[in-house]
């Protein structure tokens, strides 16, 4: 089951004309369509732009790492 755990409180509701609530909406739909569990936790921050930028940078790095093939793993990569 897809799930989004989103813990981020942005200091500003908008960045220019961009509504920061859309970050949560985008990530929920992304997790739903990818059929993944996605946990986003921003521990602190004072600049909304930088906080959102960090979320997407971390997501990109996590997806990149998840897509790498580990030559040490044989067969189907599963924890089950």
Q: Is the pTM of this model over 0.75?
A: yes
Task: Say if residue 74's pLDDT is above 90.
Answer: no
Neighbours of 57 (CB within 10 A): 10
Domain 3-67 -> CATH class: alpha beta
Cβ 48 vs Cβ 11: under 8 Å? yes
Residues 6 or more apart from 52 whose CB is under 8 A from it? 10, 15, 20, 23
**Beta-bridge mates of residue 14:** 19
Domain boundaries, the chain: 3-67
9-40 pLDDT, tens digit each: 999 999 999 999 999 999 999 999 999 999 99
């Amino acid at each position: 089951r897809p799930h989004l755990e989103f813990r981020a409180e942005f200091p500003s509701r908008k960045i220019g004309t961009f509504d920061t609530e859309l970050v949560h909406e985008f990530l929920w739909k992304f997790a739903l369509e990818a059929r993944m569990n996605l946990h986003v936790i921003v521990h602190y921050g004072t600049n909304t732009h930088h906080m959102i930028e960090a979320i997407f940078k971390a997501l990109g790095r996590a997806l990149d790492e998840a897509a790498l093939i580990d030559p040490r793993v044989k067969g189907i990569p599963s924890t089950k």
